[in-house]
Amino acid sequence: MSAVRRAVPEDAEELVRLRQVMQDALSGPPNPDKAWQPAAVQTLRKKLAEPGGDMTAFVVDRPDGTGIAACALGTIEYRLGGPGNPTGTVGYVFNVVTDDDMRRRGLSRVCMEALLGWFQERSVFKIDLKASPEGEPLYVSLGFVHSPNPAMRLSR
């Protein structure tokens, strides 16, 4: 079993690198546009420096010490409570990715289990994510089910 740890601000560049790995895998040919990355690194540095903050990441380091092999990020969103969620807190999982050469070793699973534990410690029991076809079996094995609520988005 691989050792999982909570990410620190110094991991921001590696987490953004892995985000690019994930995006390239989902969208086909690698996108040469890297203009978004400095802002993402800054956001992660800031958010990961907040010990009681609403965003975190769990990672597994590469065995040779050359970076991070896998990660799972999550954030807590605050909404008004309702019948199915009296506190109104909702967890959101994103950026679950493992480097190609490190896949099929359970690394994403240990990152996800640590992230789910973080949500539980904060009494967040409604957790959403968007699954790729490759990732869906992992999420199903962790208890996630398809939601009947269709998502919509406005991008400006």
**CATH of residue 36:** 3.40.630.30
- pTM score, whole prediction: 0.93
pLDDT recorded at residue 84: 87
How many domains are contained in the chain? 1
pLDDT recorded at residue 149: 80
Q: 27 pLDDT band (50/70/90 cuts)? A: confident
DSSP assignment string, 89-113: EEEEEEEEEE-GGG-SSSHHHHHHH
Q: Encoding tokens for residue 39?
A: 């802002």
Tell me whether residue 124 is in a domain.
yes
pLDDT recorded at residue 111: 98
What are residue 127's DSSP bridge partners? 91
Q: Structural domain of residue 20, as residue ranges? A: 5-141
pLDDT digit string (tens) for 58-105?
Answer: 999 999 999 999 999 999 999 999 998 999 999 999 999 999 999 999
**Distance in angstroms (rounded) separating the CA atoms of residues 125 and 123:** 6
Tell me whether residue 152 is in a domain.
no
For the chain, how far is it from start to end, CA to CA, in angstroms?
44
pLDDT recorded at residue 32: 79
